Amino acid sequence: MGTQVTSWDAAGADRAVAVLKAVADPSRYRLLWALSGQELPVSALAELLGAHVAATSQHLAKLRAAGLVDSRREGTRIHYRAAARVRGLLEEASLVANAAEERGAEEAGAAPAPAAVAQERPARTRRAARAPRPATEH
């Protein structure tokens, strides 16, 4: 068959899961895509995400802890870049996601997609608006 099966490595599996968890956030995924092509400071990355610098820094800290980004200090600015092979990880994830979407589209004839099922459900009725409570004096 040509497929090589490696023995189970619990520690290696834990490391791999930590990497996948770090990439699982949409903002962190976008940061990695941006950093896989160029080195950027936090301010430029925050602007790219449309987020605060502090929130972007927290995302970068998680990516750094997972070994997915490297940093370099230049004066008061810190520049980030994707670690080696990150682009390959992102491309593989994209290929797997696209293949899963294509399979889902092929199987759509057999069963409705979740979005189609959601559209078929009756809309929830809204509760009648309550009258405001009278103010009480204390």
CA distance linking residue 56 with residue 28, whole number of Å: 9
Query: Would residue 22 count as lying in a domain?
Result: yes
CA distance linking residue 19 with residue 17, whole number of Å: 5
The tens digit of pLDDT for each residue in 98-114 reads 988 888 888 876 554 45
Query: Would residue 40 count as lying in a domain?
Result: yes
- The β-bridge partners of 72 are 79
Query: Would residue 43 count as lying in a domain?
Result: yes
pTM of the model: 0.66
CA distance linking residue 102 with residue 94, whole number of Å: 12
CA 108 to mean position of chain CA atoms:
26
CA 105 to mean position of chain CA atoms:
23
CATH of residue 58: 1.10.10.10
Query: Would residue 37 count as lying in a domain?
Result: yes
Residue 136, pLDDT score = 53
CA distance linking residue 43 with residue 111, whole number of Å: 46
Query: Would residue 136 count as lying in a domain?
Result: no
Contact by Cβ (8 Å): 32, 73 = no
H/E segment holding residue 49: helix 42-49
Range of the domain at 20: 10-86
The tens digit of pLDDT for each residue in 7-29 reads 678 888 999 899 999 999 999 99
- Which regions in the chain score pLDDT beneath 50? 1, 112-113, 115-130, 138
Neighbour count for residue 45 (Cβ, 10 Å): 22
Query: Would residue 135 count as lying in a domain?
Result: no
